[in-house]
Structure 1
Amino acid sequence: MKLRKLLLTNNACYKAGKTITPKGIMVHSTGANNPWLKRYVGPDDGLLGKNQYNNHWNQNKPGGRQVCVHAFIGKLADGSIATYQTLPWNHRGWHAGGDANNTHIGFEICEDGLTDTSYFSAVYKEAVELCVHLCKLYGLSEKDIICHSEGYKQGIASNHADVMHWFPKHGKTMDTFRADVKKLLSEEEKSAEPVKKKYYRVQIGAYTVKANAEAELAKAKKAGFTDAFIKYD
């Protein structure tokens, strides 16, 4: 994951200053054929590119709306994929249109024409990695992840179709998304486990006279085997 930070400090949501204890993650997509991060994140930090219309979300009410999410995933000016954090993760966002604003971290995936497999694969992978990062930060699991349309069915979000109008076009659903998050979480937890060292001991000799054993130990240590020791059986 290529994670950068540009907080939308001019947005009314940021200025409201309310915080939450994150209990879940909500996946959104933008609903517009514009995969460039500069459309939503600004001003240009040298990587985003300039938004010629200056209609990014780092303003009081973008397009006259009360909207703000915790992150966006999309294209940088050079065409590579990145994630931009746009609110503190524990800030109360304006993304769900319902009670999920009080409990969920929400992020947007910038849509394109919905048919580009390579773009979808890249942003999907980035979204999985972002969710793994957030799960580890807040002790969540894949079971705590929903999309906007699932939130609507649960009665905690407004009536939006995302992301189920897009994912199935590429053979994915929220169930496969959650499974991929679970798999990556498991892999990272396994790789983080301490490696157990194996020790192989070499015996120099066995002596019935203690002085002889001590003399041999002194010779071993003088030779550089500083961890040598005597064991009495």
Structure 2
Amino acid sequence: MNLYKQLLTENDCYKAGRTIVPKGVMVHSTGANNPWVCRYVPGNDALGYNTGGNHWNRAGFSKCVHAFVGKLADGTVGTVQTLPWTMRGWHAGGAANNTHIGFEICEDGLEDSGYFQTVYREAVELTAFLCREYALDPGADGVVICHSEGYKRGVASNHADVMHWFPMHGKTMDDFRADVARALEGEEKVTYEEWKAYMERYRRELAGQEPTMPELVADAAAMGLTDGTRPRDLVTREECAVMARAAAKTPR
């Protein structure tokens, strides 16, 4: 889990200051094609900045969740906590506000498998963290539910999330609960698509790092052995061959 914190202290929900003893976790998704967490929080260098002034950290705002899962400034996926976990959120539109921690997964266009797998795994890890923190059993009845399940139980308003999205990628809430349970047991199963998403995320993180030997990288670039970009990224056999060939042709 990649956890940040930016509490929405100007939101009316935060100012109400009511607390709960968490009895469960409710999973929501935003219902808007915008995967960036900075759509919902003021932001910072790590989260990205909300430049439209439409974030949720405003007085007069009648809803608030405990966290958002989505893209950060660098394009990787993470979680930003927006309320203390034991504060009563305004997320369910029903009695689940009194019992459940609620978080939103930032939707994209719903069809990107790589994005879905990455935010799904982040949501699993967040839920496992919360279950561990508050001694919750994800397999127990009504503990880990989505908004649409909450509606069917009479504890939330009539929303479709997340069952309008998860099945598009072969997932159900039963799968989600099972994955949370496996995460708690330390027996996470990672699919090939999830592994690829993790690898892409890892490569992006490496590519964004500064070189540890900048002078040598600059020398190599001057010699035409490399263009100097992605100095900390992984190298393929093909790239090795190209650099070796260039080195062999370099006058000595």
Partner of 2:163: 164
Tell me, yes or no, if the aligned pair for 1:95 and 1:101 is still in contact at 8 Å. Answer: yes
Cα deviation, 1:149-201, whole Å, max 9, x if unaligned, reads 0000000000000000000000000000001011111127xxxxxxxxxxxxx
Aligned partners of 1:35 and 1:74 also within 8 Å: yes
**Residue 28 (structure 2) aligns with:** 28
Q: 107, 111, 122: which is aligned to 1:126?
A: 122
Supply the distance in 1 between the matched residues of 2:12 and 2:57 (Cα, whole angstroms).
Answer: 9
Count of residue correspondences: 184
| SS of 1:126 mapped into structure 2 | helix
1:11 Cα deviation after fit? 0.2
Question: TM (normalized to structure 1)?
Answer: 0.78
Which residue type is aligned with residue 157 of structure 1?
A: A
Percent sequence identity is 68
Cα contact 1:61–1:67 (8 A) shared by 2:
no
More displaced 10-residue stretch of structure 1: 77-86 or 53-62: 53-62
Q: Which residue matches 2:6?
A: 6
Mapped contact 1:96–1:157 kept (Cα < 8 A)? yes
**Greater Cα radius of gyration, structure 1 or 2:** 1
Structure 1 residue 84 corresponds to structure 2 residue 83:
no
Give the alignment of 1:45-84 within 5 angstroms: 45-62=44-61, 66-84=62-80
**Cα distance between partner residues in 1 of 2:50 and 2:131:** 32
Task: For residue 36 of structure 1, report the CA deviation from its aligned partner.
Answer: 0.5
- The answer for unaligned runs of 5 or more in structure 1 is 189-233
**How far apart are 1:39 and its partner, in Å?**
0.3
CA distance in 2, matches of 1:32, 1:61: 21
Q: Displacement, 1:61?
A: 2.8
Unaligned runs of 5+ in 2: 188-252
Partner of 1:186: 185
Q: Distance in 2 between matches of 1:61 and 1:108?
A: 20
1:50 Cα offset (Å): 2.1
**SS in structure 2 opposite 1:79?**
coil
Q: Which amino acid aligns with 2:67?
A: A
CA distance in 1: counterparts of 2:13 and 2:98, whole angstroms:
13
Hey, what does 2:198 align to over in structure 1? none
Q: CA deviation at 1:90?
A: 0.3
Secondary structure of 2:128 counterpart: helix
Residue 95 (structure 1) aligns with: 91
Runs of 4+ in 1 over 6 A off after TM superposition: none
Q: TM-score, normalised by structure 2?
A: 0.72
